């Protein structure tokens, strides 16, 4: 696969430096985390800044390792600059979907690059849908498109039932960003892999229908 991207190195370094600052500076962490009340009062920068903060070292490492493993696939197909557009766009859409679903919860807060990373992961799956993905405790590779669909269906379940201290809506929003930005940047996928484009849209359509019918 393609060379390791300079932009990927910069993103990982920025996450590490800013997160470490947040680990050791409570006021810095509070100033830049995602918080619905603060954003609605005009601090929209938190939509982006929160994506470079993490709750703890394990949270940071998990996101950065995931980014490390999938970024090169996206760079290979889309190029470095388009990868950066996809990363930032997915980060923004992850935060915006969280803001939409929690707009009346002024106390709601979150941090992490998970939305952006999920966008990169879903883009990699869309670009190479049959590429295997390995998960802990599962000895065989799972085809990417199956993993992507199942994970987003679980995210919908997590959003509906508010399972765990996890930003399921940010994950889902990031994946939606990765999906649509990839199709905008590489529309040839509609001709070369229309079936996978359709399959990977299923969870997005399900969430839309559930929201319109008031089930989430």
Residues 106 and 89: their CA atoms lie apart, in Å, by 24
Q: Output the pTM of the full model.
A: 0.94
Tell me: pLDDT of 206 over 60.
Answer: yes
Residues 182 and 127: their CA atoms lie apart, in Å, by 8
Query: pLDDT for 113-133, tens place per residue?
Result: 999 999 999 999 999 999 999
Query: pLDDT for 128-159, tens place per residue?
Result: 999 999 877 677 889 999 999 999 999 999 99
DSSP-derived 3-state class of residue 134: strand
């Amino acid at each position: 696969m393609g060379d390791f991207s300079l932009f990927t190195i910069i993103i990982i370094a920025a996450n590490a430096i800013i997160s470490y600052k947040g680990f050791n500076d409570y006021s810095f962490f509070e100033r830049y985390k995602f918080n619905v009340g603060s954003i609605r009062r005009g601090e929209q920068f938190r939509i982006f800044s929160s994506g470079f903060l993490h709750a703890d070292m394990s949270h940071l490492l998990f996101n950065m390792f995931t980014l490390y493993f999938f970024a090169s696939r996206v760079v290979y197909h889309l190029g470095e600059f388009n990868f950066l557009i996809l990363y930032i766009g997915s980060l923004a859409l992850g935060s915006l979907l969280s803001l939409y679903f929690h707009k009346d919860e002024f106390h709601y807060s979150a941090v992490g690059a998970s939305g952006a990373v999920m966008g990169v992961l879903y883009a990699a799956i869309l670009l190479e849908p049959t590429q295997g993905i390995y998960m802990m405790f599962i000895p065989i590779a799972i085809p990417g498109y199956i993993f992507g669909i199942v994970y987003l269906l679980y995210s919908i379940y997590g959003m509906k039932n508010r399972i765990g201290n996890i930003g399921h809506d940010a994950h889902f929003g990031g994946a939606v960003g990765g999906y649509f930005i990839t199709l905008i940047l590489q529309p040839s996928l509609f001709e070369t892999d229309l079936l996978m484009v359709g399959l990977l849209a299923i969870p997005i359509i399900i969430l839309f229908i559930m929201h319109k019918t008031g089930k989430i």
